[in-house]
């Protein structure tokens, strides 16, 4: 018996055919959150087509979030090729060294060598800007980011000197300053879902994040462009509840199937990330280290019943040390409302390459809606990392040394929280510590100071926030500071640490006050 002929509206094609939809000079938007929901198979096909044929050339890539991890899921590294990539606009960049090769991502090389136009926008702007493209508005208007590196007066988000165009403007609206992000058309969208039928209707039943899939599809179609969807499987039409089909087929032009698609690096598939776990999360204890001390101290600032949002880095280790200390055992986990900037609510915040998707969450928002939640002030407590803090009260996580991670969701989160905790080691690049009997000893000091006269980049003006009523503190492995309107106050110090030689002499500016008496950090933090 002959197999049935495909329907004439069947949209399933090979990755090579889909890559052929991209023309020289196109603007290409792509979804992805580190390794999660990254259409890696399609990005690889685009990079391979260029390597094979020299086309498409001169593309502008728009990544609302850093896409891929440059380890098992290269993501944006597939298209980080000189000639293929002319410009990139991204809400974050992947910086960490590959733990197996010791290499930084290829895209970081292009940026450091000034071979592409690289722009960095806050993720709140990258998400909400897509909505403005979708409804054909002039652009996105916001106060978030004024005075930061996104402000044209402080760089306008330009990460390379090749950047000549001003993609962000300062605009006066009703007598007040705002940042304005003008819209421009997107020609191609590359998104990812779990399943599609042959007509291109997309569902996310196997994916723990939604991110900007829908927003990219709407923006690209409003621009008259083409949308390519990568999926794990093709399913019959009407085989899924319509509530799980989040993107209708009218928004999709091509469907590419990758049956080997994994959830993320080191996670082929785990229903726990879908909120369907029937067993507790198994995590071994973190070894004692400066990061663990910092996470323990930060965990003491987390309150039951208060929505708490965690950023990438040592701050995202706080839930794990809370679990180690029994604070999240049994039903006690439900006393806490944990989230990240990428939309999961409840459950357990993961760290490392698994950061972004919570394990066993209760609910999920898409990326744009999550930033509505954040910008609306509905995350009262935030724990975020810091790379530098300066004498003017500015914190930097966006650009320092050879690293160009961008802000991610940091600016939106920091600007709208009521209580802020910034976490990080006191110095970096070679810091080595030992711990005994509740005391901290510095075996080798880090080569790079983090409390500096002037930060390399302004990610958030903390003292301005404190002046508006925010509470802010900085937690390191050896000291805790409060940020007050007139400067830093040294509030706690670890046993074994000399205030002058181990703290004050290593700061390029001095605290405005030292608590008197100066409390000691709890020795239990160091055990």
Q: From the candidates 341, 445, 477, 492, which is the catalytic residue?
A: 341
- What are the angstrom distances between the C-alpha of 67 and each of 73, 292, 382? 9, 27, 23
Asked whether the predicted pLDDT for residue 5 surpasses 70, the reply is: no
- Contact of 24 with 58, CB cutoff 8 Å: yes
Residue range 233-252: average pLDDT? 97
Phi, psi of 415, deg, nearest 5: -65, -20
- What are the angstrom distances between the C-alpha of 415 and each of 100, 373, 411, 412? 37, 13, 6, 5
What is 290-526's CATH number? 3.40.1080.10
The position carrying tokens 């010791």 is 102
d(CA 412, CA 430): 31
Which two three-digit tokens encode residue 129? 């800007």
Phi, psi of 400, deg, nearest 5: -160, 140
Sign of CA dihedral 499, 500, 506, 509: positive
Closest CA to 18 of 191, 185, 134, 260: 191
Same fold? 27-257, 290-526: yes
Instruction: Supply the pLDDT for residue 2.
Output: 53
**Domain residue limits, the chain:** 27-257, 290-526
d(CA 345, CA 103): 34
Whole-model pTM: value is 0.96
Q: Is the backbone peptide bond immediately before 302 cis, with ω within 30 degrees of 0? A: no
Per residue in 398-413, pLDDT (tens digit) is 999 888 999 999 999 9
d(CA 417, CA 224): 38
Per residue in 253-274, pLDDT (tens digit) is 999 999 999 999 999 999 999 9
Calculate ∠ Cα 33-358-292, nearest 5°. Answer: 100
Residue range 467-489: average pLDDT? 98
d(CA 481, CA 421): 10
Instruction: Supply the pLDDT for residue 6.
Output: 63
Per residue in 243-252, pLDDT (tens digit) is 999 999 999 9
- Contact of 232 with 194, CB cutoff 8 Å: yes
Per the annotation, the verdict on 341 as an active-site residue is yes
CATH level 3 topology of 27-257: Glutaconate Coenzyme A-transferase (3.40.1080)
């Amino acid at each position: 018996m002959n197999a049935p002929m495909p329907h004439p509206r069947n949209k399933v094609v090979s990755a090579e055919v889909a890559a052929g939809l991209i023309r020289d000079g196109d603007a290409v938007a792509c979804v992805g959150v580190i390794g999660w929901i990254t259409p890696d198979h399609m990005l690889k096909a685009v990079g391979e087509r260029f390597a094979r044929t020299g086309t498409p050339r001169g593309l502008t890539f728009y990544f609302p979030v850093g896409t891929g991890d440059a380890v098992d899921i290269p993501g944006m590294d597939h298209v980080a090729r000189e000639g293929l990539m002319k410009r990139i606009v991204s809400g974050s960049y992947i910086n960490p060294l590959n733990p197996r090769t010791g290499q930084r991502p290829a895209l970081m090389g292009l940026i450091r060598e000034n071979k592409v136009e690289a722009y960095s926008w806050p993720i709140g702007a990258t998400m909400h800007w897509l909505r403005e493209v979708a409804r054909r508005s002039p652009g996105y208007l916001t106060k978030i980011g004024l005075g930061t590196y996104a402000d044209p007066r402080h760089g306008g988000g330009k990460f390379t000197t090749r950047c000549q165009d001003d993609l962000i403007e300062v605009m006066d609206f009703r007598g007040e300053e705002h940042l304005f992000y003008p819209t421009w058309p997107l020609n191609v969208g590359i998104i990812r879902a779990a399943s599609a039928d042959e007509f291109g209707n997309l569902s996310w039943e196997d994916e723990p994040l939604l991110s900007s899939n829908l927003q990219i599809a709407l923006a690209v179609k409003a621009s008259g462009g083409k949308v390519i969807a990568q999926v794990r499987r093709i399913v019959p039409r009407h085989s899924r509840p319509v509530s799980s089909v989040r993107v209708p087929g009218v928004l999709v032009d091509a469907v590419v199937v990758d049956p080997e698609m994994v959830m993320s690096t080191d996670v082929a598939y785990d229903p726990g990330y879908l909120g369907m776990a029937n067993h507790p999360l198994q995590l071994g204890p973190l070894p004692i280290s400066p990061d663990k001390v910092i996470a323990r101290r930060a965990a003491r600032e987390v309150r039951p019943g208060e929505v708490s949002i965690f950023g990438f880095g040592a701050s995202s280790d706080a839930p794990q040390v809370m679990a180690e200390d029994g604070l999240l055992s049994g039903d006690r986990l439900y006393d806490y409302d944990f989230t990240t900037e990428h939309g999961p609510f409840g459950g357990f915040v993961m760290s490392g390459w698994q950061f972004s998707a919570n394990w066993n969450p209760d609910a999920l928002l898409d990326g744009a809606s999550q930033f509505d939640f954040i910008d609306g002030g509905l995350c009262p407590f935030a724990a975020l990392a810091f790379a530098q803090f300066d004498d003017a009260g500015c914190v930097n996580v966006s650009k320092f040394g050879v690293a160009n991670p961008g802000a991610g969701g940091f600016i939106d989160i920091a600007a709208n929280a009521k209580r802020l905790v910034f976490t990080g080691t006191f110095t970096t690049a070679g810091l080595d510590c030992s711990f005994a009997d509740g005391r901290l000893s510095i075996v080798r000091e880090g080569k790079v100071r983090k409390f500096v006269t002037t930060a390399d980049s302004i990610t958030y003006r903390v003292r301005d926030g404190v002046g508006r009523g925010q509470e802010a503190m900085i937690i390191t492995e050896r000291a805790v500071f409060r940020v007050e309107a007139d400067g830093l106050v040294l509030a706690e110090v670890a046993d074994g640490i000399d205030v002058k030689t181990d703290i004050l002499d290593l700061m390029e500016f001095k605290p405005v006050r030292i608590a008197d008496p100066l409390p000691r950090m709890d020795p239990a933090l160091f055990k």
